[in-house]
């Protein structure tokens, strides 16, 4: 075991209050959720109307850190003052996976310059912070081929460690209790639940009606997650405790859902759809569509502001998976109190804003320019854009460190 892996092991095994439990392959559970479920909406869990008002206490799943503010599940990610002591010595960097370059570009947040670059596995898609904040994982899915892998990055040094072989890790999430990593095997329509250190497979949930299973948002109590189905126009709801599919929901129009973000109330979800050019609103508890917000061409990525009042939406500027350079890309800003677009920032000269995150102080929204081989640093006060050249086809970058107690994965969904 390398020094990097040992460091991760001890931080996970002995962190105060950590629910992390090392699992053995000899105790692996059988695959679950392999039966093909009907395409139906699950039984309603609340009366008709808006999402249920938050109670005084959110009853979370066992092992999940408590929700300290039921009206705002992101209350512990509000700014630099909420940075965990665990990340105190981590470099302030932006890690950019270059999909066609098979590399990661590293940008210094202060100078806005690339200060490092290193090779990883084939087709790196996202850089994913681990549940305990001690690791960044590059998901190299090899576009569904057999040589997929995960490359760990030490956030103190900014350098990679030895990769682990993993089948088709297009994206990766962590259950809210920290017990499992979930690698999203997009090409196989499958969610693989893994031990989050060794990445040993524990069990899988098949999502046969979810073509292009992709991004996820978790409920406020951690009991379920909703995944987008990029190539089928569906959403799939998954029980995170019992590890099974609860049902599918067909969106009313568009048909190419991308990123999904949980609203601060923990019940509603915002779903970006690249063909619908906007954001669907979904009541997660009832699992039904309740609204739609037009944004821009090729709606793709979504990020909550540090004060939890705004949703930044990246419009990629094209309906194509491999679009043109200098397209009509933009960023829309949605007021979460009204679900209205209050600002729209076009990329000067055209561009393709894709995925990323918000800086710890909320000052900059960092996004990859997918078709333009650049990264955008967008001033969240003025909409002014800096462009930083990186490798070929940058995708799911992460900004590090970020405030919060734990990570649910993707490009940094912290709570």
Place of tokens 């390398």: 2
What the block records as the tokens of 252 is 């009313």
When mean pLDDT is compared across 47-51, 305-309, 316-320, 376-380, the lowest value belongs to: 47-51
Domain spans, the chain: 72-400
Dihedral of the CA atoms 151, 155, 160, 164 (nearest 10)?
-30
pLDDT of residue 132 exceeding 90: yes
Q: What is the mean pLDDT of residues 255-273?
A: 98
What average pLDDT score do residues 309-334 get? 97
Q: pLDDT digits over 200-247, tens only?
A: 999 999 999 999 999 999 999 999 999 999 999 999 999 999 999 999
pLDDT of 56 = 65
> Strand, helix or coil at 129?
strand
Tokens 């996004």 correspond to what residue? 367
Distance CA 227, CA 230 (A): 9
The pLDDT confidence band at residue 317, using thresholds 50, 70 and 90, is very high
Q: Give the residue from 118, 121, 117, 165 showing the smallest Cα distance to 143.
A: 121
Mean pLDDT of the chain: 89
Q: What is the pTM of this model?
A: 0.88
Stretch 81-93: mean pLDDT, rounded?
A: 98
User: What value does the mean pLDDT take over residues 161-165?
Assistant: 97
| CA separation for the pair 169, 167 (Å, rounded) | 6
Whole-angstrom distance, CA of residue 347 vs CA of residue 385: 7
Residue scoring higher pLDDT (346 or 145): 346
pLDDT single digits (tens) 365-380: 999 999 999 999 999 9
Where does 72-400 sit in CATH, by number? 2.130.10.10
Rounded to whole angstroms, the Cα distance separating 170 from 186 reads: 6
Q: How confident is the model at residue 146 (pLDDT cuts 50, 70, 90)?
A: confident
């Amino acid at each position: 075991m390398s020094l990097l892996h040992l460091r991760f092991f001890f931080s996970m095994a002995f962190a105060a209050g950590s629910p992390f439990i090392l699992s053995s392959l000899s105790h692996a559970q059988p695959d679950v959720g392999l039966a093909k479920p009907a395409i139906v909406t699950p039984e309603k869990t609340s009366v008709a109307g808006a999402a249920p008002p938050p109670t005084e206490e959110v009853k979370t799943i066992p092992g999940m850190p408590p929700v300290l503010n039921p009206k705002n599940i992101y209350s512990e990610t509000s700014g630099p003052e909420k940075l965990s002591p665990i990340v105190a010595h981590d470099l302030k960097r932006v890690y950019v996976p270059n999909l066609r370059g098979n590399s990661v570009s590293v940008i210094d947040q202060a100078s806005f310059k690339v200060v490092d670059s290193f090779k990883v596995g084939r087709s790196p898609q996202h850089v994913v912070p681990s549940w305990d904040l001690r690791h960044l994982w590059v998901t190299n899915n090899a576009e569904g081929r057999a040589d997929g892998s995960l490359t760990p990055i030490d956030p103190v040094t900014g350098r990679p460690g030895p990769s682990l072989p993993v089948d088709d890790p297009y994206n990766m999430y962590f259950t809210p209790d920290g017990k499992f990593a979930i690698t999203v095997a997009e090409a196989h329509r499958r969610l693989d639940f893994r031990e989050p250190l060794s990445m040993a497979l524990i069990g899988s949930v098949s999502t046969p009606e979810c073509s292009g299973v992709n991004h996820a948002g978790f409920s406020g109590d951690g009991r379920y997650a909703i995944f987008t189905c990029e190539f089928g126009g569906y959403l799939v709801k998954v029980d995170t405790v019992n590890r099974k599919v609860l049902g599918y929901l067909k969106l009313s129009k568009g048909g190419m859902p991308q990123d999904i973000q949980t609203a601060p109330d923990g019940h509603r979800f915002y779903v970006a759809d690249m063909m619908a050019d906007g954001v669907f609103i979904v009541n997660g508890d009832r699992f039904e569509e309740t609204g739609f917000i037009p944004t821009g061409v090729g709606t793709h990525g979504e990020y909550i502001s540090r004060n939890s009042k705004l949703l930044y939406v990246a419009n990629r500027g094209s309906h194509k998976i491999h679009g043109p350079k200098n397209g009509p890309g933009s960023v829309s800003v949605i007021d979460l109190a009204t679900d209205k677009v209050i600002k729209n920032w076009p990329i000067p000269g055209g561009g393709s804003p894709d995925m990323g995150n918000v800086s710890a102080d909320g000052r900059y929204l960092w996004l990859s320019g997918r078709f333009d081989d650049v990264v955008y640093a967008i001033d969240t006060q003025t909409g002014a854009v800096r462009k930083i050249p990186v490798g070929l086809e940058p995708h799911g970058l992460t900004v590090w460190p970020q405030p919060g107690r734990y990570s649910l994965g993707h490009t940094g969904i912290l709570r």
